[in-house]
Structure 1
Amino acid sequence: MTDSDSDPGPASDLGKPSPADALRFAFGTLTALPVTVTRWDRPAARGGMLCAPVVGAVVGLCAAGVGGVLLLLNASPLLAAVATAAVPAALTRGLHLDGLADTADGLGSAKPAEDALRIMKQSDIGPFGVLTLLFVLLTQVACLAALYADSWSHGAAGAAVSAVTARTAMTLACRDGVPPARPDGLGAAVAGAVPLRTAAVVAAATPALAAALGALFALPTALHFALSALLALSAAELLLRHCRRRFGGITGDVFGALCETAATVALVVLSLGLQ
Structure 2
Amino acid sequence: MTDSAGTDPTNRSLIDSWRFAVGTLTVIPVSPPRSGDRAVSGPAMVLAPLAVVPLGLLVALVCLAGRELGLASIGVAAAAVGALALGSRAFHLDGLADTADGLTASYDAERSLAVMKTGDVGPAGAGALVLTLGMQVGAITALLGLDHGPWLAGLMVIVSRGVLTLTCLRGVPAARTGGLGSASVGAVHPAVTVAVWVALTAAMSAMFVVGGEAWWRGPVSAVVAVVVVAIVVRRAVKRLGGVTGDVFGASIELALAALLLSAT
Residue 33 of structure 1 is aligned with which of 17, 28, 31? 28
Give 1:66 shift: 1.5
The 5-angstrom pairing of residues 105-120 of structure 1 reads: 105-120=101-116
State the partner residue of 1:228: 221
* Residue 58 of structure 1 pairs with residue 51 of structure 2: no
Identity %, equivalent residues: 35
CA distance in 1: counterparts of 2:200 and 2:55, whole angstroms: 16
State the partner residue of 2:130: 134
State the partner residue of 1:8: none
* Residue 77 of structure 1 pairs with residue 73 of structure 2: yes
Dislocated runs of 4+, deviation >4 Å: none
Counterpart AA for 2:108? P
CA distance in 2: counterparts of 1:215 and 1:194, whole angstroms: 31
State the partner residue of 1:183: 177
In structure 2, the CA distance between the partners of 1:156 and 1:219, relative to structure 1 (3 Å rule), is closer
CA distance in 2: counterparts of 1:229 and 1:194, whole angstroms: 18
RMSD: 1.6
CA contact (8 A) 2:13 2:39 kept: no
Show structure 2 runs of 5+ residues with no match. 1-7
Give 1:241 shift: 1.1
SS of corresponding position for 1:202: helix
Give 1:219 shift: 4.8
Counterpart AA for 2:155? A
Give 1:18 shift: 4.4
Residue 149 of structure 2 is aligned with which of 150, 154, 168? 154
The 5-angstrom pairing of residues 1-275 of structure 1 reads: 15-16=9-10, 17-40=12-35, 41-151=37-147, 153-161=148-156, 163-220=157-214, 222-271=215-264
CA contact (8 A) 1:228 1:270 kept: yes
Counterpart AA for 1:213? M
CA distance in 2: counterparts of 1:93 and 1:164, whole angstroms: 16
CA contact (8 A) 2:97 2:121 kept: yes
Show structure 1 runs of 5+ residues with no match. 1-13
TM-score by length of 1: 0.88
Counterpart AA for 1:69? A
